């Protein structure tokens, strides 16, 4: 799993957890130790605005 520097909104524990748990047999983390540590400690999850609710509400109309 490649862990890029930057893009703070993607450097969250949730993203790291998802990547780790999807590995089937082997996981190799490629990235800066400080960035990975930042992700582990970053539990800040922003409210997602996908527009799904709007699409579902208007789907049946």
Mean per-residue pLDDT for 5-15?
87
Left if phi > 0, otherwise alpha if psi is -120 to 50, otherwise beta: which for 7? Answer: left
For position 57, what pLDDT does the model report? 83
Q: Report pTM.
A: 0.67
> What are the sequence ranges of the domains in the chain?
8-59
CA distance 35 to 17: 14
Residue 46 DSSP SS3 = coil
Instruction: Look at residue 40 and tell me whether its pLDDT is greater than 90.
Output: yes
């Amino acid at each position: 799993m490649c862990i890029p520097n930057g893009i703070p909104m993607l450097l969250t524990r949730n993203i790291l957890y998802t990547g780790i748990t999807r590995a089937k047999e082997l996981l190799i983390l490629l990235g800066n130790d400080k960035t990975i540590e930042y992700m582990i400690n970053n539990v800040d999850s922003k409210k997602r605005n996908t527009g799904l609710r709007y699409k579902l509400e208007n789907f049946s109309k």
